[in-house]
């Protein structure tokens, strides 16, 4: 029979190694997040090529749809509940929604997170209306680096036109275009 004192010393050593293990693992995790591993992957699917049909489930109704339904051009916006910047981008996207609808462009908020998390993250009913859930495989197909906030422009033939980070040049010119369309529509009325 081992002395109780020895037992507690052994237990303490085990605990310390567990602590060390946890600290090192967490550190590796944080280091990995900083490394540009993902840069080896392309930013977007190959431009000008047609996307394979990606099935997407509408968050609110549960209906299954595809991104070029009705052969309209579409904007796919990838936000994640995980990224701090996405919280700030929600308002910008929400403001774009009526403009996109007026310009006959589909705007989808694409997520591969669970329904309840997406619902909770988007919070506004208008944004939820435009949210679709896709599988993780398809998510990687559309957004290879799995970055957010990210966007893809798809034309009426489901060909990829452009993609990038929300707020980059292409995105800004898209926003300006939407504004112009609204202004000219306003002038007509």
Backbone angles phi, psi at 187, to 5 degrees: -65, -35
15 forms part of the interface with other proteins (CB under 8 A)? yes
Question: Which residues 64-103 are close enough to bind other proteins by CB under 8 A?
Answer: 82, 84, 87-88
Q: H-helix or E-strand containing 7?
A: helix 4-34
Q: How far is the CB of 43 from other proteins (least distance, A)?
A: 18
Q: H-helix or E-strand containing 162?
A: strand 160-165
Backbone angles phi, psi at 74, to 5 degrees: -135, 150
23 forms part of the interface with other proteins (CB under 8 A)? yes
Of 63, 145, 147, 58, which is closest to residue 109 (Cα–Cα)?
Answer: 58
**Span interacting with other proteins, options 21-29, 35-43, 70-78, 161-169, rule CB under 8 A:** 21-29
Options 46, 123, 172, 177; binder of other proteins; rule CB under 8 A: 123
Structure tokens at 88: 């700030």
Separation CA 164–CA 183 (nearest Å): 26
126 forms part of the interface with other proteins (CB under 8 A)? no
18 forms part of the interface with other proteins (CB under 8 A)? yes
Backbone angles phi, psi at 46, to 5 degrees: -55, 125
41 forms part of the interface with other proteins (CB under 8 A)? no
User: Which residues contribute to the site for other proteins (CB under 8 A)?
Assistant: 5, 8-9, 11-12, 15-16, 18-19, 22-23, 26, 29, 82, 84, 87-88, 112-114, 123, 136, 146
């Amino acid at each position: 029979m081992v002395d109780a004192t020895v037992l507690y010393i052994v237990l303490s050593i085990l605990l310390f190694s567990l602590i060390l293990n946890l600290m090192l693992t967490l550190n590796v995790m944080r280091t990995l997040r900083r490394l540009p591993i993902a840069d080896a992957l392309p930013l977007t699917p190959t431009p000008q090529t047609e996307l394979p049909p990606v099935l997407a489930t509408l968050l609110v109704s549960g209906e299954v749809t595809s991104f070029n339904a009705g052969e309209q051009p579409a904007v796919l916006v990838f936000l994640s509940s995980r990224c701090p910047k996405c919280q700030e981008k929600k308002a910008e996207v929400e403001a774009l929604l009526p403009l996109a609808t007026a310009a006959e462009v589909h705007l989808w908020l694409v997520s591969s997170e669970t329904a309840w998390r997406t619902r909770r993250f988007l919070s506004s009913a208008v944004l939820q209306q435009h949210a679709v859930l896709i599988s993780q495989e398809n998510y990687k197909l559309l957004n290879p680096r799995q970055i957010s906030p990210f966007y893809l422009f798809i034309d009426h033939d489901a060909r990829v036109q452009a993609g990038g980070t929300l707020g980059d040049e292409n995105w800004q010119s898209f926003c300006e275009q939407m504004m112009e369309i609204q202004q000219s529509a306003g002038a007509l009325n």
